[in-house]
Chains A and B, each alone.
Chain A
Amino acid sequence: MEKLIQKQGYDLHLLHTKKFKTINFSFKFTTNLSRETVTNRALLPYVLQQGTTNYPTATKLRQKLDELYGAILHIDSSKKGEKNITTIRLELANDRYLANQDSLIEDGLALLQEVIYSPKTVDGGFDPKILEREKKTLKNKIDALKEDKMNLANTRMIEEMCADEAYQLRVHGYEEDIASISAVQLYEYYQQLLQDDHLDIFVVGDIENTPLESQIDTIIARNEQTAIEKTKHTTKEKQAATLIEKDKIQQAKLHFGYRTNITYDDSDYAALHVFNGLFGGFPSSKLFMNVREKHSLAYYAASRIESHKGLLFVFSGIAPEQYEKARQIILEQMEQMVAGEFTDQQVTETKEMTINQLKETLDNPQGMIELNYQRILAKSDKSPEQLLKEVKQVEKEEIVKVAQKIKLDMIYLLTSEEV
């Protein structure tokens, strides 16, 4: 169970559990998504892992991590709703399972402090050589994402569907913005992130009766905590649009974007989860069974909910000439959901699978952190345990009501140039 402590400048979330033989630290820096900063934040994770004052190369830093019994350091930037989150994560072996070792937490936190507060600098900025190389790494990453056509189709659909909303921004940044980023400017932006972002620190593991609270306090220097602004969801008023784009591909990608008008804190959020399970969340769902199995139209067909902006996405990979038919069948599946064309038996099984999935997520340290973080972003009191309870109580009528609230916003097709 979570214990929340509000500290000077940050919120500390202690999640004590005997499930794991490691201790996970996760520092989450949260701010609003914006075009001005998103590329900076995409680049920072690469630069920060290339060296610190005392461990000035990536190899030296990795060797230090090895010495700490193979500590895992991981840094990334992600988006949830209209928030941009930079996460710095360290996983340490719990030293009670190691002979002659009792200061692993202390040593691990000291290294984390070094990585966060003393990255390698030259003349008041990051090391320009490191920066240039990592700019190339980020460019390669952006290129590779374009090769992943499922990802490309989803990105393009969101850009058009949410054109006037911050949610449309690409979390891996923009190639055209990379060149102008300078070593000093990026370093200054990083200092600003450290001071001005909202900061949550999660610790997960067998941590009862440890002095973690004071140990963490000694490595963090912050003035005050910034409040999180909750992501606003947008209601769709206009007619749904269709957008068709072409690329050098064999298999076409047919994606749908919907507004659910339901976010994490809403009372029908649990019912939305079950809705999604029935619609396209599991191999037993309508999309999978009808688009893939029955009509053999797609190599994959699935749906996923976005919990903060209130969106629902459908993904499918189809033969280009099957577009009309696949579109029709997917639309029909949604109509059936609205009409309540599913059995109580299916509801029971889907609830069971949804609960199974949520519980399994809580059997993993990262999963535990992510589920608890959901509610911080949503400014909600609903704990993961409460959500589980609510899923158990969902009834068929609530699922139909959820289906009726969901409005189609966009149909997006990425298809072959030859069609």
Chain B
Amino acid sequence: MKELYYDQINEKIYTETLSNGLRVFILPKQEMAKTFAIFTTNYGSIDQSFVPLGKEDFITVPDGIAHFLEHKLFEKEDRDVFHDFSKLGASANAFTSFTKTAYLFSATSRIMDNLKILIDFVQDPYFSEQSVEKEKGIIGQEIKMYDDQPDWRAFFGTIKSMYQHHPVHIDIAGTVESISHITKDDLYTCYHTFYHPSNMVLFVAGNIDVNETMEMIKTNQAGKTFETPEPITRKFPNEPANVAQKQLNVTMPVNVPKALVGVKEVDIPEDPKAFMEKEYLMDIVMDALFSRSGASYEKLYEEGLIDQSFSAETHLDKDFGFSIIGGNTSEPEKLAESIKQELLQLNETKLDQSTFERIKRKKLGHLLRSLNSLEFIANQYTHYQLLGIDLFESIQWLEQLSYKDLQNFLSSWIDEERISFCFVKNEE
């Protein structure tokens, strides 16, 4: 077991990679009443084409299968695992993102019992033809619920407008049509390939004893057998740098129309430090322009183009990345065009050195504030771990960023061909 001490934030993490390849991280925080644990596999909605464990040829599985698998893991032959947690006073949940599937719980007592339930249910799948068919109806309802949510439609619409081939443009839950093709055997194939311990991270944070926790996890894992790990081969299509379409319209009933602007990223660095710096810089630019203290925000607000719903966010991952800016507006075309102009005219007067230093400070303060939350720590530490980055280590990279770094970034960041619009409006 290795001890990592982070002097600046005064936190300690204990870590070990077990013989089956599972990476375990433990962050003890005795002051907290709660413990939060999250068990994550490096497998999300974009992992559709891959070589199954022990095979040689690529296969492609239906859209939405990672999310489907997440649902099915909770259901066992004789029970629903949610009840196992609630009997012990814990609350459990799970989520599927583009690149990850995670299972989690929080509790203030009987932590070792809860932790055992978490590990065991994820490592003991039970899929039957019958239960797979039943789930198609339930997930179909969930997909329809998302279809009724204008914000979700706008978000995915924007991603679709940017990405032509890369599976990030496919809805995480798939479609009613795509999930209809999922079989029990597909689920087992995906499970055996991606839920191997060597592809997973277990993070436990909170009111726990480090040795007791590590011992429990090791004993648990030693009692199970897994196939010999192999590196997983995944395949992603070539994605052009330019956006797929400059404008995408979604028609559905809305009280107020929506306009979102997408900026597609290219040249995503492989080096962890360079990757992290790029992500910080994207965040800083978004914040400097479009947060409540931003110059562009003030202008758009004065012009009456935006309201409280306006926001800007960034996503950066191994081989895709984007920023999305916008919100509700009575003049969607005008708002989108104004945002685009703000981006194209981005220069050093708008983003001067003092603005840069101000936003950097804000980011640092907000990062510290996030560390109040065990959930944030465990989620984000795992997220960056899977990208080969130590989140706590990276705080100093943010502090060290210079205005020169920002200037270099800005010199090649914006390209009109990588900007797209998505509108959500009522039928005319």
- State the CA gap A363–B361 with chains docked (Å): 26
- State the CA gap A93–B361 with chains docked (Å): 10
Q: Are A97 and B369 in contact (CB under 8 A)?
A: no
State the Cβ distance, B161 to closest chain A Cβ, in Å.
Answer: 29
Q: Which residues of B contact A69 (CB under 8 A)?
A: 361-362, 364-365, 368
Q: Mark A69-98, 1 if CB is under 8 A from B, else 0.
A: 111100000000000000000011110011
Within 312-360 of B, Cβ neighbours of A (below 8 Å) are at: 358-359
B254 within 8 A of A: no
Q: Which residues of A contact B297 (CB under 8 A)?
A: 59
- State the CA gap A21–B358 with chains docked (Å): 20
State the Cβ distance, A152 to closest chain B Cβ, in Å.
Answer: 16
Q: Are A22 and B358 in contact (CB under 8 A)?
A: no
A295 within 8 A of B: no
Residue ID in chain B nearest A92 by CB atoms: B365
- State the CA gap A233–B88 with chains docked (Å): 36
State the Cβ distance, B204 to closest chain A Cβ, in Å.
Answer: 15
- State the CA gap A62–B374 with chains docked (Å): 28
Q: Are B368 and A22 in contact (CB under 8 A)?
A: yes
A356 within 8 A of B: yes
Residue ID in chain B nearest A72 by CB atoms: B369
State the Cβ distance, A346 to closest chain B Cβ, in Å.
Answer: 10
B219 within 8 A of A: no
Q: Which residues of A contact B87 (CB under 8 A)?
A: 349
Q: Which residues of A contact B239 (CB under 8 A)?
A: none
A67 within 8 A of B: yes
State the Cβ distance, A351 to closest chain B Cβ, in Å.
Answer: 8
Q: Are A97 and B10 in contact (CB under 8 A)?
A: yes
- State the CA gap A348–B255 with chains docked (Å): 47
Q: Which residues of B contact A360 (CB under 8 A)?
A: 33-34, 106, 108
B interface, size bucket: 35 or more
Q: Mark A326-370, 1 if CB is under 8 A from B, else 0.
A: 000000000000000000000001001101100110111100000
Q: Which residues of B contact A62 (CB under 8 A)?
A: 291-293
Q: Are A66 and B89 in contact (CB under 8 A)?
A: no
Q: Which residues of A contact B371 (CB under 8 A)?
A: 21
B9 within 8 A of A: yes
A20 within 8 A of B: yes
- State the CA gap A179–B377 with chains docked (Å): 47
Q: Which residues of B contact A68 (CB under 8 A)?
A: 361, 365
Q: Are A359 and B108 in contact (CB under 8 A)?
A: yes
B249 within 8 A of A: no
- State the CA gap A72–B371 with chains docked (Å): 15
Q: Given contacts A67-B358, A349-B89, is CB(A58)–CB(B369) below 8 Å?
A: no
Q: Mark A13-28, 1 if CB is under 8 A from B, else 0.
A: 0000111111000000
A116 within 8 A of B: no
Q: Are A67 and B368 in contact (CB under 8 A)?
A: no
- State the CA gap A72–B8 with chains docked (Å): 22
Q: Are B364 and A70 in contact (CB under 8 A)?
A: yes
Q: Given contacts A20-B372, A72-B369, A94-B368, is CB(A363)–CB(B362) below 8 Å?
A: no
Q: Mark A307-331, 1 if CB is under 8 A from B, else 0.
A: 0000000000000000000000000
Q: Which residues of A contact B372 (CB under 8 A)?
A: 19-22, 364-365
Q: Are B34 and A359 in contact (CB under 8 A)?
A: yes
- State the CA gap A21–B29 with chains docked (Å): 13
- State the CA gap A21–B31 with chains docked (Å): 12
Q: Mark B277-292, 1 if CB is under 8 A from A, else 0.
A: 0000000000000011
Known: A20-B372, A97-B10, A362-B33; 20 extra A-B contacts, CB below 8 A, are A21-B368, A21-B369, A21-B371, A22-B369, A62-B293, A66-B362, A69-B362, A70-B363, A70-B369, A92-B365, A93-B365, A98-B368, A99-B8, A284-B86, A349-B89, A352-B89, A356-B90, A359-B108, A360-B106, A360-B108
Query: Which A residues form the contact surface with B (CB < 8 A)?
Result: 17-22, 57-59, 62-63, 65-72, 91-94, 97-99, 140, 147, 282-284, 349, 352-353, 355-356, 359-360, 362-365
Query: Which B residues form the contact surface with A (CB < 8 A)?
Result: 8-10, 29, 31-34, 86-91, 106-109, 255, 291-294, 297-298, 307, 358-359, 361-366, 368-369, 371-374, 399
Mind listing 6 A-B residue pairs with CB under 8 Å?
Answer: A17-B31, A20-B372, A22-B369, A66-B361, A66-B362, A68-B365
